[in-house]
Each structure stands twice: as C-alpha cells, then as structure tokens.
Amino acid sequence: MGQAQPRRGTSAGTGRRTAWLLVALALVSINLRPAITTIAGTMGQLQAGFGVDGHLLPLLGALPVLAFGVSAPCGPWLARRLGTGKAVALALLVLAAALIARVTLPGLLLPGTFLAGAAIMTASVLVPQIVKAHRGTGWWTGLCTMGFGLGAALGAGLVQPLQHALGGSLAWALAVWAVPAFLAAALIHRSGQTAGRAGGTDGAGGTASAAGLRDGTTTAARAAGNGGTVPLRKQRTAWAVTAFFGLQAMLYFAITSWLAVFLVSKGQSPADAAGLLAWFSVAGLPASLLAPVLAGRTAVLRFMAPGLGLLVAAALLGVLTAPAAMQFVLVGLLGIVQSAGFGLGMALVVIRSAGPGSAGSLSAMSQGLGFAIASLGPLATGFLHEWSGGWDVPFWALATEAMLLAGAGFLAVRGPAVSIAEAESERVTEPAAVGR
C-alpha cells in the first residue's frame, strides 16, 4: 500500500516526459522542410533579392537533396558521441544558423542552403531512432511524418505573407524560420537527450512487436548476442527498406517537379495547376499520419507494403488519362497514396530494426542512399519528356517504378529484422527483454 503513491507519481512523471517528447518530435519534424520549400516558393525573386546568377538557380534547388545524401551518416555518428537528443539539438542549432547566415551574409546563399540541408538530414535520420528508443507506437511515427508534410506546406504557404508582414523584406521572411528551429532545439535537448538509453534493453521494440514480426527480430537479437551480427550492407532487409524509401522519394520528387507542367500541357491554367499541386500535398497529410499506425498491424502491413506501390501506379495512370474535370479527384488520390508511401517508408525503419542503434543506422542508410536515388527522378522524367515529346512515356516509366516499389515493399516486410553491433551491446545488459 505504501508504495502505491510513488508508483502513481512515477507514472505521472513518465507520462509528462512522454508528452513533452512528442511535442518536441512534432516541432522537430515541422522544422525539417521549410528551409527547402521557402526557397522553392521564392525562386523567382532570388536574382533580384540576392543577386544570384540565374544559371545557378537549378543548382540551388538540387543542393538540399545533394546534402541529404552526403550528410546522412552524420546523425548516427553524432548520436554515439553526444547522445541522440543532443545530436538532434545541435543539428537544429546549425540549421537555425544556416537559415540566418544564407540570407544576411553576402555570397552564402548556396553554401548556407547546402549546410541547412545537411543539418536537416542529420536530425531527420535520428527521429526514427528516438521513436524506437522510446518504444513509440505507429502514432509517434505518423505524427512525425505528418510534421514533415505540414512543415513543407507552411514553408511554401507562409513565405509571401511573412514577406509582406515584415515590410517586404525577403531576407527576413526566410530568416524568421530560424526561430522555430531554436525552439525545437531547446525542447528536444530537454526532452529527448536520454533517448539513446530509454529503450536500449528492449531490442524488440513496441512497434516491431505490434507488427507481428517478432520472429525476425528475435533471430537478429540472437545473432547479436552470439557476436554474429552482419554488416548493414550485407543485410537484405536493410537494402529492401532502402529501396522502398528511395523509390517512393524518387516518385515524390518527380511528381512535384513535373505535375504542374503536365497539367498546364493538358489545358489547365497555371494558377489551377499550381492549386492542384498544393492539393496533392494537402490531401496526403492524413495519409502520412495514418499509414504508420496501420502498419503496426501484421495483416495490414503484409498487404500494405506491396499494395501501396500498385495503388501509386494506378493513380499515376489515372492522372495521365483522366479529363480535366476529374483531375481534382485523381490528383488528390495520388497525393494520398504517395504520402502514405512516405509514412510507411519512415515506419519501416522503426518496425524492421531490432533496436534504437539499428534504427539510427538503418535510417541513415535508407534516407542517405534513398535521397541520392531520388535526385534522379526529376532529371529522368524531364529527359523522357524531351525525348518522347509527350507525357505518355514519362508517366508509364513512373508507373513501372511504382511496380518496383511494390516489389521492394514485399521484400521489406519479410526476412530478419535489421541488427547492428550497437544493438548487441544494448541487449547484453538484459537479454530477457528480447521478444517480450
């Protein structure tokens, strides 16, 4: 009886810390896209506002994606030395500094944008590791993936109103996004700095167990306990998850780069085409939240991972062949299944990893290589359009890629969970926790 009250107090304290961590993760996620979409939304003003050579504008658009591929290993490296929460906080402070420096110091727009992209990826790859360490459910991952989409929409939609509110200053409208980055750094440092220790003794992780994949996780855990962990690059599940993430990202960048141009060629006005592109993003927000939640159910996951690829292919061909009157519906459907693919890609990192360390390394691999692959999407689509003189070939090529996405999803949910050396050290402390 005498111990009942302390237990309630401990439970209440844990609940408050969890709530603060969720708030911090949501704010972190929202900060990981405005640095990109604010520049994309003001590309036409950069020449006059900052004296950027017009020939460098395409490079400016490619720099963040290039930085994503280069900097992905930085997140796990920093997490091992500083702790996960401190590593994310440091990345956000660097992001805030880059956002200010690139628009206030002459000549730093391009290097500042690259640095912002590197900071974004450093923080981004650690989000699944924090979720895994705290045994977060699919709602945690869904909240984060929806934060990515919300941040992208806010960055694109608010930059012009902010410019007007700040006396017409484009520089301040871009730099003001450093404020939420500072706030997110403070919150995650306070709430998430123990993330690396929170779930280290439970290699199975709540989400993986909920997905009904205990057999694969337990196998990986036993291998780790026997010193038999194989390198990440030799684990087929890691490559399947990476392929899934990279293919869905390639589709996303190709669609967002060329959808408006395609719609204009089909008779839509530029304003209507831009509106449909925005609708593509907005329609997908609920799907990015719900997809990781649904992935937590075994039966759903095994059909969902390959099924999403098939649905994306069908939606792409629907957009290609539909009359103008049906484009609102079909572009919305394309946005839903495409955003669900991103949500599932993030969830697979958590579900198919054996522990927090494994999740961090798998996140770095899948996002680093994935975004490197994704950078080819807009280029290949544009080349096929120029080569064929129309849109049938590019859309059929994208639909074929979506079929490959289905295959990657099929492989990603089968086979042993991903386990690395860090997971071994986590399990040695309490091997009985594995597979609970």
| Domains of the chain, residue spans | 15-198, 232-412
DSSP structure class, residue 105: S
Q: Are 277 and 372 in contact (CB under 8 A)?
A: no
**What are the distances in angstroms from CA 198 to CA 177, 192, 319?**
31, 9, 46
> Between 109-124 and 34-41, two packed helices, what is the crossing angle to 10 degrees?
140
Return d(Cα 309, Cα 299) in angstroms, integer.
17
The ranges of the chain with pLDDT < 70 are 1-14, 40-41, 43-44, 54-55, 57-58, 61, 135-137, 192-229, 421-436
Closest-CA residue to 292 (of 117, 126, 120, 148):
148
> Hunting for tokens 């087929």 — which residue is that?
236
What are the phi and psi torsion angles at 193 (to 5°)? -70, -15
Return d(Cα 374, Cα 370) in angstroms, integer.
6
Return d(Cα 89, Cα 85) in angstroms, integer.
6
> Hunting for tokens 């059909």 — which residue is that?
303
Identical fold for domains 15-198 and 232-412, yes or no, is yes
What are the phi and psi torsion angles at 265 (to 5°)? -65, -20
Structure-block tokens of residue 97: 């500094």
What are the phi and psi torsion angles at 287 (to 5°)? -65, -35
3-state class (DSSP) for residue 139: helix
What is the model's pLDDT at position 156?
73
Q: Are 311 and 418 in contact (CB under 8 A)?
A: no
Q: Which helix (H) or strand (E) holds 387?
A: helix 376-388
CATH-assigned architecture of domain 232-412? Up-down Bundle (1.20)
CATH of 15-198, one of 3.30.70.1400, 3.40.50.150, 1.20.1250.20, 3.40.50.1700: 1.20.1250.20
What is the model's pLDDT at position 176?
94
Return d(Cα 430, Cα 436) in angstroms, integer.
12
What is the model's pLDDT at position 181?
95
